[in-house]
Amino acid sequence: MSKYGKEIAIGFVPVLLAFLFFIGVNPVPLLLVAVIAGSLLLMTRMRGGAGLVGGERSKPRAKLPSFLTFDDIGGQDRAKKELIEALDFLVKPELIEKFGIRPLKGILLMGPPGTGKTLMAKAAAHYTDSVFVGASGSEFVEMYVGVGASRMRDLFKEARQKATKENKANAIIFIDEIDVVGGKRDGGQQREYDQTLNQLLTEMDGLHTSESPRILIMAATNRKDMLDSALLRPGRFDRHIQVDLPDAKGRLHILELHARNKPLAEGVSLRKIADQTFGFSGAQLESLMNEAAIYAMRETAERIEERHLLQAIDKVMMGEKTDREAAAEERERVAIHELGHAIVAESVRPGSVSQVALSPRGQALGYVRHNPPGDKYLYTKRYLEEQIMIALGGSAAEEMFYGERSTGSRNDFEQSLGLVKTMIDSGLTELGIVESSMLTKEEYSKANADILDDLTARTRELLAAYRPVFDASLDILKKEETLSGDQFRELLRGVELQPTA
């Protein structure tokens, strides 16, 4: 307000009230409205000044550094190396001029969720000293025609303005889940999606690669097959980098990164945890370390023990423990079911059982945690058959003791059917090398039934020989709720097997 603003307002209000009274308007309601509005304005100002201490605004809490480096990303050595090589064209422009290289316009990161694609894009911005502007594909989806295309133009405009303002030579635009706006054009009714994609193609058409600041587009997807071919051609997304799930070495590196600010107890082996987390993504490994710290905090422990980490593995895989109370008969059936899985697993792959648990977790009433023998990417017929037998072990054990199955075997059967399909698709059955989609329903059902019937019979025969193990393990499991792998193997060694017929 100006110097004389308050005096003018004070003098104007009585005149206005007198004028309203003179023309017959009741000024009381207006006064009430003015009082309420003034009170709200005063409260807003007081709330905004709540952080003032002694006439000065209180200092904000210290924040972590906003930048991210490639050293902070674990488990993606090959992908990082390939990405850094592409980014060097921005960092070392003299190489471009020397060899006459066309600057890259776009880099596409592909891989499962949680593998670090967004982190790599942020690290790329720090590595190249570029402005970083991020967006999600869903931000461009709108029911009104032209809005998505307009937002795409604004995104590139914002990147150029920020780079100019901060005096940066480069800007990186990152679009997560690009398949939302970059899907294949089929000529259907979704013309808004086409307009947004067309605008993105125009921004990446290669006509402005020499402009300053230079724009590098990075995008992430786990469905490359859904993207339009015009988007994938050279000159737009020049590099396609696969960001896979980490191997054992990568998982160990990720665990070590997330353990830097956590008090681990002496003797905790992160290598052992890495070996037991085959198939975990980087996001799941971060969650594992976080959940382990929560378990330690709940117990008011000074440090994170190995048991906390093992509990966290179960939590990430299957969910938190539940407080469901099952009847004694049902608990015994669940114990028989899980022991069936464990006995078959330990028989076909000695040393593979890590724990047998009877405690409900997530949707599971019980579970068996396995020790992966190592990272496997190729599977033989024998391996897949053994995996099916392990899945069928629970239902076969129930039939052996109760004469019938239960609904608890549903997920096991789904897993078995998926493995049979893999065998058929891979030419590992008596059908030979075939295209499964060309098989009739009768042919497919017969092949599926033949495989499962044979493996079910073998599983029953195996469990019949190990029947004494159930008697030795059942009471302990119902009482303690858990059996470690070592305890279970000791029980296996301590019983006399029954001869098969």
The residue to which tokens 């070996």 are assigned: 275
Q: Which amino acid is at 441?
A: K
Q: Which amino acid is at 105?
A: K
- Other CB atoms within 10 Å distance of the CB of residue 255: 24
What distance in Å separates the CA atoms of residue 394 and residue 415, rounded to the nearest whole number?
13
What distance in Å separates the CA atoms of residue 479 and residue 457, rounded to the nearest whole number?
31
Residue 115 near residue 245, CB atoms below 8 Å: yes
Residue tagged active-site, from 291, 332, 338, 385: 338
The residue to which tokens 């960092």 are assigned: 91
Cis peptide, bond prior to residue 213, ω within 30 of zero: yes
Residue 168 near residue 131, CB atoms below 8 Å: yes
Q: Cβ contacts of residue 224 below 8 Å, gap of 6+?
A: 108, 110, 179, 232, 240
Cis peptide, bond prior to residue 360, ω within 30 of zero: no
The two three-digit tokens of residue 475, written as one number? 């009471």
What distance in Å separates the CA atoms of residue 178 and residue 167, rounded to the nearest whole number?
28
Check if 338 is active-site: yes
The residue to which tokens 């309420």 are assigned: 36
Q: What angle do CA 274, 276, 277 make, to 5 degrees?
A: 70
Q: Which amino acid is at 367?
A: Y
Q: Which residues does residue 52 pair with via DSSP β-bridges, in sequence order?
A: 57
Residue 452 near residue 423, CB atoms below 8 Å: no
Q: What angle do CA 229, 232, 235 make, to 5 degrees?
A: 120
Q: Which amino acid is at 291?
A: E
What distance in Å separates the CA atoms of residue 245 and residue 46, rounded to the nearest whole number?
51
DSSP 138: G
- Quick one: how far is CA 244 from the chain centroid? 12
* 188-193 contact pairs (CB < 8 A, 24+): 191/145, 192/141, 192/142, 192/143, 192/144, 192/145, 192/146, 192/147, 192/148, 193/141, 193/148
The two three-digit tokens of residue 131, written as one number? 């402005």
Q: What is residue 219's three-state secondary structure?
A: strand
DSSP 265: P
Q: Cβ contacts of residue 139 below 8 Å, gap of 6+?
A: 151
Residue 221 near residue 227, CB atoms below 8 Å: yes
Question: In Å, how far are 196, 268, 359, 478, 486 from 482, measured between CA atoms?
Answer: 55, 21, 8, 8, 12
Q: Which residues are catalytic?
A: 338
